[in-house]
Structure 1
């Protein structure tokens, strides 16, 4: 997803090279199910869905560096893994524009009419308003309302299926009345009002073979076919020496790094000064604690780990890759301390090495951290492909919330009642401090 807020200006189109592959240039029997990608960012969601067999018709984002990355991928003809002769984003229209300025005609294949429908409309509106790493202004933040642009385009394009992704904080995000879970209810009702049934679930990338513990919220919506299920986990955490389910063990960060090329010297960041001693004293999987905020039910302080001073545990998948230039530190077998590089973070997100990110190092980290993890996207894409392939018309019904959603919403309401005033005061003080 893009980290940038919407800005004014006219849509700028990156003209792709002419290629023979596309939704209109091949016989019906050879066409790939079509995908329109909104809030595409650096293309993690598109990457996974194309691996599952979808063809991207158009991809759009407001962030210029993200669009330059997608343009470079298209020009470089990055092959689709396991699909000979196919290249990522081949023939796709790449549109640099704010979501509110897009029209359905911009997104459809050239030469088609308003009756043309994509098989899937996918995207993840900016997550910062709901993320625990941000100020959590939610729907009050202008970026928090961009899902309405997503809904509006869905209503006009009438895709057969919709895939929506966001941070897990959206599960308990408050609506303007202050009700935890209110934003998620608003999102569900908005899609239902335009004729779509919905299904929501939190998925952890580590459960699908990624060497990263990244939990994100996904929504699948269907209009005139059965509502697809989410994929079942293929991997799980070892408890002692056993697995709870009959799945493969999680892929650890240590295993992942052992299969990566040696990083270029200029991309490595080593600790300096007093930080060296701080990191040497840490146990893997811990970090330097932040200053605790005293709360009614936490008299000793509500603390966490400082994001720039955390030592990764190589025996587990990596923590969530963030959109920051301060990824976790690692301690190698010889005792060397260094940060994960941006290329390693990109690989943890499922990007192949041929995916050439454009912009400054800070921009590359931001694009990578804001992306959808590609392995999860691919597994979901396979479930969507099954639904598209069945071509069975039914009137679907929305699935109930997962049971844990109710529990988290209730807990958040309790926490707000206990600590809401103190947190609001602390937030106001931070905002005044700049």
Structure 2
């Protein structure tokens, strides 16, 4: 690991690293990634390729991404603390930060939402176990918004999040949770994710304050910049590679032709007790982006939103454009098939958001102030959503269970 000065870089161990979005942001904030791990071979290949390319860390002269990082291809269940420490380190060695986002599909609205009943939904327990062994000074945990109201098998909305907080508290960590929208911090993507800070023997870091906001009719607060639109973002990107461009064919041409920006082809509605006309949405593969707003959340699918270009033609956002919206540098060579690339991109933590979080963590480490922290109360909106979900589930739960059962029967 090379540096341009003698300042000690705080250390990071990265779990569930994926294609490295979280690591990009934390390294830009000043961290050195000691170890990065993932179970997906494509992800590890991406990280190894990036490491070999020696990509400069933006704003950090002399530093390269993943320089000196040990890469481990393994499931979290297979790992022990000794696998993650630097070579030759004793059991007393502690990382400054342990960071990661266990697989989000069990809790995501884009998945089947089996939650903790899905084996992947229990991987946070492996995260907790490794935290107990490593005793990091601070923890950064990331997941999807749906985790706020995810139910335990007994049907309690928010029960999974309460279990996660309890699990960290039992090993000595106080926690603070918040939902953050990447667009509020300068990203051209409306991506809302759940974040947790945890501390063992120092004050709990606070989350960063937004720097941007939606300018609704000139009512934006004076200290905020307007959101960065997808149109602005694309105008600053290199021209799309012709081989990456997908245009509509067949019946899709007619389905998309008359769509207004920010709308899509409606999905078939599910009749519910309080929605006799059906609970519908837009089909994920047939949505036309509104270029005047930040992009919708980038998903782990090969069907990103369509855009209408200046000459009126339609095409999908390319995988490289989606990667750039996630904050990946242009040089970040994501490995695997096209489907594997989209999966890695969509599952990543938005790197610019990660950098903002990393700066808050680094400030806490630099202060080096000992403390006995206590967990912060749930944000008020969490309490409201948990209560609403309980009420809504009571009204529509049977309808949804029947609809899920029918979908699974028909495949």
Q: TM-score, normalised by structure 2?
A: 0.99
Which residue of the partner structure matches residue 21 of structure 1?
Answer: 2
Kindly indicate whether the alpha-carbon contact (under 8 Å) linking 1:231 and 1:383 is maintained by their aligned counterparts in 2: yes
Which residue of the partner structure matches residue 56 of structure 1?
Answer: 33
| 1:13-162 pair list within 5 angstroms | 20-21=1-2, 29-162=6-139
State the Cα deviation string for residues 17-39 of structure 1 (Å, max 9, x = none). xxx439xxx99x53200000000
Deviation of 1:190 (Å): 0.2
| 1:318-333 pair list within 5 angstroms | 318-333=295-310
Q: TM-score, normalised by structure 1?
A: 0.93
| 1:261-410 pair list within 5 angstroms | 261-410=238-387
Kindly indicate whether the alpha-carbon contact (under 8 Å) linking 1:268 and 1:338 is maintained by their aligned counterparts in 2: yes
The range that moved more, 348-357 or 424-433, is 424-433
State the Cα deviation string for residues 304-356 of structure 1 (Å, max 9, x = none). 00001000000000000000000000001110110000000000000001100
State the Cα deviation string for residues 17-75 of structure 1 (Å, max 9, x = none). xxx439xxx99x53200000000000000000000000000000000000000000000
Alignment equivalent of 1:198, drawn from 129, 153, 175 = 175
Kindly indicate whether the alpha-carbon contact (under 8 Å) linking 1:205 and 1:214 is maintained by their aligned counterparts in 2: yes
Which residue of the partner structure matches residue 221 of structure 1?
Answer: 198
Matched residue SS, 2:320: helix
> 2:40, 2:250 → 1: CA distance?
36
Kindly indicate whether the alpha-carbon contact (under 8 Å) linking 2:9 and 2:32 is maintained by their aligned counterparts in 1: yes
Deviation of 1:245 (Å): 5.2
Which residue of the partner structure matches residue 13 of structure 1?
Answer: none
Which residue of the partner structure matches residue 233 of structure 2?
Answer: 256
Alignment equivalent of 2:151, drawn from 147, 156, 174 = 174
Pairs aligned (count):
411
Unaligned residue ranges in structure 1 (runs of 5+): 1-19
> 1:73, 1:278 → 2: CA distance?
40
Which residue of the partner structure matches residue 424 of structure 1?
Answer: 401
> 2:72, 2:224 → 1: CA distance?
41
Say if 1:216 and 1:245 are closer, same or farther in 2 by CA, change over 3 A: farther
Matched residue SS, 1:338: strand
Deviation of 1:241 (Å): 2.4
Deviation of 1:194 (Å): 0.3
> 1:245, 1:318 → 2: CA distance?
24
> 2:386, 2:221 → 1: CA distance?
27
Deviation of 1:426 (Å): 1.1
> 2:288, 2:331 → 1: CA distance?
29
Deviation of 1:432 (Å): 2.1
Matched residue SS, 1:333: coil
> 1:386, 1:47 → 2: CA distance?
18
Kindly indicate whether the alpha-carbon contact (under 8 Å) linking 1:236 and 1:245 is maintained by their aligned counterparts in 2: no
State the Cα deviation string for residues 373-419 of structure 1 (Å, max 9, x = none). 00110000000000000001000010000000011001100111001
What is the RMSD of the two structures over their aligned residues, measured on CA atoms? Answer: 1.1
> 1:279, 1:289 → 2: CA distance?
11
